[in-house]
Copies of this chain bind each other. A is one copy, B any other.
Amino acid sequence: MRVSVYFTPGELAASELAGRTVVVIDVLRATSTLVEALANGARSVFPAQTTDDAVRLAQALGREDVLLCGERRSLKIPGFDLGNSPLEFTAERVAGKVLVMATTNGTPALMACAGAKQVLVASLLNLGAVVQELAAAGEDVEILCAGRERRFALEDALCAGMLALGLRERLERAPRTNDAAAVAMSLARRASGRMERWLGRSAAGRQLKEIGLADDVAYCAAVDRHTVVPRLKERQVSL
């Protein structure tokens, strides 16, 4: 088994996805929010590339149970029902709903993986469940960090490293890894047990705290809050 990490979406071209199992990570906050929404009973989430795409898709779906969600510069998009804070996606708000969601990094990264054999959604919130599923399947895994505006993001690298470490612990034979996976695992070992502090140090974490969203950082740092493994299939993420 081979476990590869890509710190930015640009490192994994669409042409390289055929037949692959890809795990997409955007800890602060899109994949954390997706996990939270589906764990709280949302029926599915349509990721969107842009705000306009989200609005058009919601109109096309045209149903009463659709919620428009997403952020620009970390804040809820004006006129949308929900932003990108996992704390907003309570069972009360999202149970039974179909969500359309546009975020800066996470939802475009997910959509870019549409050509893969399977696309799983990971965050710290559902880390153990994703590890379990990947270990049971035993196939090569491509772990794709959404990063931040095309660039390296510490929190995604940490989560990728924890995922790779978790796989290594569960497998009988240590998986082969690429350079990025080795670095991510080393980071994850150092941060072990102190996720909230490390997330708070990242550029995304600091920015969220600056605009009053420190609770989001703390929430997204909790490992294994949920056991769901969302998957992208036919443009929708669901369980």
Confirm or deny: A46 has a beta carbon within 8 angstroms of a beta carbon on chain B: no
Q: CA A5 – CA B182 in complex, angstroms?
A: 19
Instruction: State how many residues of chain A have any CB contact under 8 Å with chain B.
Output: 25
Q: Which residue in chain B gives the minimum CB-CB distance to A147?
A: B11
* Residues of chain B within 8 A of A10, CB atoms compared: 8, 10-11, 150
Find chain B residues with CB under 8 A from A150 CB: 10-11, 13
Which of A13, A178, A179, A187 counts the most chain B CB atoms within 10 A?
Answer: A179
Cβ of A21 within 8 Å of any chain B Cβ, yes or no, is no
Q: Which of A37-45, A66-74, A75-83, A151-159 contacts B (4 or more CB under 8 A)?
A: A151-159
Q: A8-B11, A150-B10, A151-B6 are in contact. Are A190 and B186 (CB under 8 A)?
A: yes
Judge whether A89 is part of the interface by a CB distance below 8 angstroms.
no
So how many copies of this chain end up in the complex?
2
Mark out the residues of chain A between 161 and 191 whose CB falls within 8 Å of any chain B CB in the assembled complex.
178-180, 182-183, 186-187, 190
Chain B residues with CB below 8 A from A179, complex form: 148, 151-154, 157, 202-203
Beyond A183-B157, A187-B183, is A151–B202 a contact (Cβ under 8 Å)? no
Which residues of chain A (90-148) have a CB below 8 Å from chain B? 148
Q: Can you list 12 contacts pairing A with B, beta carbon distance less than 8 Å?
A: A6-B151, A7-B152, A11-B152, A151-B178, A152-B178, A152-B180, A153-B179, A154-B183, A182-B201, A183-B183, A183-B187, A186-B190
Q: Taking beta carbons and an 8 Å cutoff, which residues of A are in contact with B? A: 5-8, 10-11, 13, 148, 150-154, 157, 178-180, 182-183, 186-187, 190, 201-203
